[in-house]
Amino acid sequence: MIRQFSAARLTRPNTLRPVVSIPPEVYGDAAAVLDSALIGDRDGVVHAFDEAVDKRGVRGAYDVAVCLAATLVGEGTPQSFAALEFPNIDDAGYDMRWVARFVSACANADDSTGEALFSAALVDGQLSECLLTLAGSTIATIKHRAG
């Protein structure tokens, strides 16, 4: 039943202004990431992102990350600039700061910033941890909304 839960959350119309054109198969990859994150399987999350990279290169992982950010932001996103509040973000670790900034970029349809953040995390050797944190944050948000 886990697949149905996460897939249902990801197949609803994207409420964010389009950041990138996301191929339909990305939603299946994002569901696989969330399925693993939901049960706390870090290796499964990494494997699901690796599968996306195997299919579409690094862009595949980026598209999955954008899909997760859209799920995290949810419905009701303003159609103008969104100012997201992240108290004490400067004191957080690299991965948490990255997630906050990446989600902000996606919420504001700022693809160039999203791509720059993604590339910087890759170059810094932090991308895997950032993507794990993004997946965990998305699951935590889904659970919070459901509960």
- Reported as a single tens digit per residue, the pLDDT across 78-113 is 555 555 566 777 888 999 999 999 998 988 888 999
Mark residue 76 as left, alpha or beta (left: phi above 0; alpha: psi -120 to 50; beta: remaining): left
Gap between the Cα atoms of 24 and 128, Å rounded:
23
| CA gap 52, 27 in Å, rounded | 10
Cα atoms in the Cβ-side hemisphere of radius 13 Å centred on 15: 14
Q: How large is the average pLDDT for residues 16-38?
A: 79
CA 139 to CA 85: how far, in whole Å? 19
Q: Where are the beta strands (DSSP E) in 8-137?
A: none
pLDDT at 6: 35
Listed by start position, the domains of the chain span: 2-146
